Amino acid sequence: MARRAVMSLLPQWSSRVFSVEQDGTSPCYFAVGRGAPPRESAPPRLFASVPPGCGRCYSLLVCAADRIRGARYHAELRDKLTGALPPECRVSPMSSFLTNASDSLVKGYFLNDHTESPVASERLLRDLTRRDPVLVCSYSRRADGQVWTQHLWSNSEGEAMETPQEEYYVADCDGPGQHPSTLGIINSDVFYSFEEACEVMRQCGDIIPEAKSVMELLPSRVEARSRPDFPVIVIEGLDATGKTTLTESLKDTLGATLLRSPPQCLSPLRSLFDREPPLIRRAFYALGNYITMEKVHQEAMKTPVIIDRFWHSTAAYAIATAVSGPVSNLPAQGSEVYRWPSDLFQPSLVVVLTLDPEERKRRLRGRGLEKTEEEQELDHNQLFRLKVEEAYRRISGPACATVDASPSADQVLRQVQLLIRGKCHL
């Protein structure tokens, strides 16, 4: 199956674009072609740091036919590479894709080997091609010193992918109109239907026993329902912005039911699924929203409902994690990645609490709670925080109302109450 997945890439190989992310900046892009490179083609910037006569480069693309196993293998591959390769080998995330083709994204890693001899690296890579779902390419400099070439390695059955006479030249190319990761966000990083997320969890059953426990908690099906009698208000925001204090106060002042997403029934499983790759982790959190939605429909026929986080958080964190580099790399306002799932109940009002980052850090230190990997990222990576906040703002259906959470808890409560009266007439 891995061999078929590898072979499926080859017919359009010269049409594919390759991207490599180094130092958290925007990706470097290159393309490949047969024969002599065009006179106007620029030498690839990606290879500029490789000293003449020393060092080689390699790429590995994960080509598993089973996307669940492929996602787990991709997550494990970096540890395998960094643990086995010499310290002089630099490992960077990379991908390959067809421009504007949403199902074409293939992820992997790029190796820049600055050792005097590539023997150790090539031994490991040849071992990978024999038993793992990975396509390996090597890159070398031609005698003129300006042109780099790409060679596809043998597959797991030992048959040559390409003969040496059919080597590819490598050249810089312009990037696509959008960051390449956006080609793989829909129903991989962000889920837009119950069935799509449910199918991922169902496929995990054979390799993650706890996935069956999640399936047992799900509604048998999700269907459109009439709007409840009482409003549903979602409070969003990063950790330590005051969501818990606000939601508890709103529960008391409105006589509302307070719910949380992910729901309490998933809490024992969160730490396990937080260690899984994005595809599986995001499906888990998406399904938490649908479990919460079932409870919303029951409670909102009797009282107003307050939800501590909902789909906005699930989507904003996923988008900010998937898209590397600056905020400008995020999909543009109006992109389909910001659309609300058609089968998920839309709340009456969504409020996002914002807070100065230094004040938020101070509050976090005072709490002393164990933080998720994403919360740790928020702590030391201002860029990631900015992307999360911008993704919040761009999600539509419904859009968010932003409230400054730096004043006292009573002042924040009064400001949110005014929004609720204006929007929900409570």
CA–CA separation, 100 and 205 (whole Å): 33
- Whether 178 and 233 share a structural domain: no
> Which residues lie below 8 Å from residue 392, measured CB to CB, with a gap of 6+?
236, 312, 316, 352, 400
Residue-averaged pLDDT of the chain: 87
The structure tokens 């130092």 sit at: 23
The answer on 231 and 166 residing in a single domain is no
In order, the DSSP letters of 181-200 are GGGG-BTTTB--SHHHHHHH
pLDDT tens for residues 33-44? 988 787 776 667
Say whether both 67 and 153 belong to one domain: yes
Half-sphere exposure of 277 (CA within 13 A, CB side): 17
Question: Tens digits of per-residue pLDDT, 46-87?
Answer: 887 776 666 689 999 998 889 999 999 999 999 989 888 888
Would the pLDDT of 191 be above 50? Answer: yes
For position 392, which CATH number holds? 3.40.50.300
Strand order across the 257-260 sheet: 257-260, 305-308, 232-237, 349-354, 401-404
- Is there a domain that residue 215 lies in? no
- Whether 205 maps to a domain, the answer reads no
pTM: 0.89
- What 3-state DSSP class applies to 236? strand
Looking at the structure, tell me whether residues 368 and 246 fall in a common domain: yes
Same domain, 73 and 171: yes
Q: State the CB neighbour count (10 A cutoff) for residue 393.
A: 16
- Contact between 182 and 337 (Cβ < 8 Å): yes
With respect to residue 319, please indicate whether it lies within any of the assigned structural domains: yes
Measured between alpha carbons, how far is 297 from 408 in angstroms, rounded to an integer?
33
**Domain boundary, last residue among 183, 212, 236:** 183
As a whole number of angstroms, the distance between CA 161 and CA 154 comes to: 6
Distance of CA 326 to the CA centre of its chain: 15
Residue 260's SS3 state is strand
Span 215-250, pLDDT tens digits = 999 998 887 677 788 999 999 998 888 899 999 999
pLDDT digits (tens, 9 = 90+) for 106-150: 999 999 888 878 888 888 888 887 777 889 999 988 777 678 889
Is 66 found in the same domain as 11? yes
Domain annotation covers residue 278: no
State the total domains in the chain. 2
Alpha carbon distance 61, 93 (integer Å)? 10
- Indicate whether 106 belongs to any domain: yes
206 lies in a domain? no
Q: Which domain holds residue 357?
A: 226-266+291-424
- Last residue within a domain, chosen from 120, 153, 183: 183
What is the pairing mode between strands 257-260 and 148-152?
unpaired
Give 160's pLDDT tier (boundaries 50, 70, 90): very low
Same domain, 329 and 252: yes
Average pLDDT for residues 162-170, to the nearest whole number?
Answer: 67
CA neighbor of 318 nearest in space, from 269, 289, 283: 283
Domain boundary residue among 149, 183, 217? 183
Question: Does some domain include residue 262?
Answer: yes
Most confident residue range from 24-28, 321-325, 335-339, 372-376: 335-339
Tell me the per-residue pLDDT of 380-424, one tens digit each, with 9 for 90 and over.
578 888 999 999 999 988 889 999 999 999 999 999 999 999 988
pLDDT of residue 340: 94
Same domain, residue pair 80 and 177: yes
Q: Looking up tokens 């310290």, which residue turns up?
A: 87
Comparing 17 with 239, the larger pLDDT belongs to: 17
Position 389 in a domain = yes
177 and 48 share one domain:
yes
- Give yes or no: residues 260 and 402 share one domain: yes
For the residues 264-273, what does the mean pLDDT come to?
A: 96
Q: How confident is residue 357, by pLDDT bands cut at 50, 70 and 90?
A: confident
pLDDT, one tens digit per residue, over 307-344 is 999 999 999 999 999 998 889 889 999 999 999 999 99
Same domain, 20 and 101: yes
Question: Are residue 398 and residue 311 in the same domain, yes or no?
Answer: yes
